[in-house]
Structure 1
């Protein structure tokens, strides 16, 4: 099967879109309201149609190409655990989720993918949201599959659990199976970053990498309304410290030859990662560039969906669409 087309809303820095492209999907339209994210997308893929617009203001009737797509995908801002369908209009995250479901009403893709917090899959606090989605999509002929994937199982050196909804038109549902892990062993932070840590001649790069044996804790992009870039909250910073990394900031460059790595001396003796290294920990290829200043770049990276997960998901969706297509002239489409 060829020529599978998708629309990606709340596309951010393009992690999910890139993964779907790697799985053989062609983007028809990418939408995001943040100028810096749109600049990132246009810089890396000048041929993609990128629309800078809030999803809440998007009218598909003005973009007729979105009506003929196989897949509608959305890596949405994280819905809060306290959210319910009966909420105030100030709950922007839930409004975006609802807007995505209503867009599926208009676009009628064969498959809808929503990526969000893992608790959305089965936590009781999210039952009203799941019920809303089910009621809105059921009469359109969709069946829903909820599951959680961990990016570490797909070669990403990060413990990042993602809640996924894949809603499929009924004729495709039985053929879809969530992607299985693609690696037998998780890739550690030391393995992933050793080479980049040594690029300026840091003599302790190998020694540091040899003890950084865990996957990274979940990178958190944080809010646009608070201060500069750091690697997460208190517990996350402690996990980084156990690997000799200062999680309280993001570096402008990797260590030089004279840097003395001595975690016993506190933060000043710890190494710091760069935005480029954060992108590696998210599974982005090294030639994918991010627009904006350091904090803006890091936030795009921290909010992104890891491309290897998007690729695995795209391949699973592609397989389902292929398997459920009727034979043509006596032949079954190749996978």
Structure 2
């Protein structure tokens, strides 16, 4: 195998969204030959950050691999799919769309024939009995195509992401390569807290209370939720999440246009009730995106992309584990990372 082949591998990313999965896999040495998403704003985000990437705005259900010869025989097929509901297993109409996308991803294996597969979804898909029929449908197809596989539950906070975010991961490898796969171990470090990660950004405009606020925001962030694309404004999640944010003196019901400045007051006493609001950029930090990763669209649409994204550090960890299972070393770091 040539040196360049050992260093950089290829990938096809479907339901690519804002690029969290693709970015993490790029850091693990997988360069996408094509990224597919049906949302124009997501495609704009991908092109904005990586003009050299081939981004296709199209519905996965309409995608024909034979019309895109570059995707044949890629090293990795990666998919960050909309969250499948357990009700899909019993034919609930409101769950059909997500299940069809999962099935379409698996059926792509016939035309693409990747060496490896990485699918990210809800943690329940990997372990809960009510999702068993869905797992079985996927596994039948993988068995037929001679893939070995396993399902995993990973928490993003195990991999340097300051967020309590569980994900379900399916890894499948052609032939018997799965016997060499070792899931990425937790990094062994205490999870980063919201204050540690956002303290400097809260101080960026000269807010005098940034250090005190950061010192009391000593928790890991709850799961960021993107919310519906079709209704509502941006917020940080359901009622339970908002209570967790309130303990850190963060208003979880909205998103700010900018961080606080010298003109913004705040009661620093432990029993104070003043709240701060996070910006889209701060939410992106909590997802593990680098600060220079830009998001297209208005505030609400930008936050939706952040909330629905897969944290890049988790994708990187699994990408490196897949490389190792294929007998390849970790790639050299690039300057832009």
TM range (shorter): over 0.9
Q: Which residue of 2 aligns with 1:254?
A: 259
Q: Deviations over 1:11-67 (max 9, x none)?
A: 000001000000111111000000000000001000000000010110111001111
1:131 to 120, 132, 136: 136
1:155·1:183 contact (CA, 8 Å) conserved in 2?
no
Tell which deviates more after alignment, 255-264 or 149-158.
Answer: 255-264
1:89·1:95 contact (CA, 8 Å) conserved in 2?
no
1:44 to 49, 55, 58: 49
Residue 239 (structure 1) aligned with residue 258 (structure 2): no
2:28·2:330 contact (CA, 8 Å) conserved in 1?
no
Residue 277 (structure 1) aligned with residue 298 (structure 2): no
1:322·1:334 contact (CA, 8 Å) conserved in 2?
no
Residue 98 (structure 1) aligned with residue 112 (structure 2): no
Residue 188 (structure 1) aligned with residue 193 (structure 2): yes
Deviation at 1:171, TM superposition (A): 2.8
Where 2:33 maps in the other structure, the secondary structure is strand
Residue 53 (structure 1) aligned with residue 38 (structure 2): no
Matches within 5 A, 1:167-186: 167-186=172-191
Q: Deviations over 1:110-165 (max 9, x none)?
A: 11111000000110110010000011110110111111111111111111111000
Work out the CA distance in 1 between the residues paired with 2:240 and 2:154: 22
Deviation at 1:89, TM superposition (A): 8.2
RMSD, matched Cα: 1.6
Work out the CA distance in 2 between the residues paired with 1:167 and 1:208: 44
Where 1:216 maps in the other structure, the secondary structure is coil
Work out the CA distance in 1 between the residues paired with 2:149 and 2:179: 11
Where 1:20 maps in the other structure, the secondary structure is helix
Where 2:220 maps in the other structure, the secondary structure is coil
> For structure 1, which runs of at least 5 residues remain unmatched after alignment?
324-332
1:77 to 75, 78, 82: 82
* TM-score, normalised by the number of residues in structure 2: 0.93
Deviation at 1:251, TM superposition (A): 0.2
Q: Which residue of 2 aligns with 1:150?
A: 155
Work out the CA distance in 1 between the residues paired with 2:251 and 2:94: 38
Work out the CA distance in 2 between the residues paired with 1:152 and 1:334: 22
* TM-score, normalised by the number of residues in structure 1: 0.93
Deviation at 1:261, TM superposition (A): 2.0
Work out the CA distance in 1 between the residues paired with 2:272 and 2:45: 38
Where 1:125 maps in the other structure, the secondary structure is helix
Deviation at 1:215, TM superposition (A): 0.7
> For structure 2, which runs of at least 5 residues remain unmatched after alignment?
1-5, 332-337
Residue 25 (structure 1) aligned with residue 30 (structure 2): yes
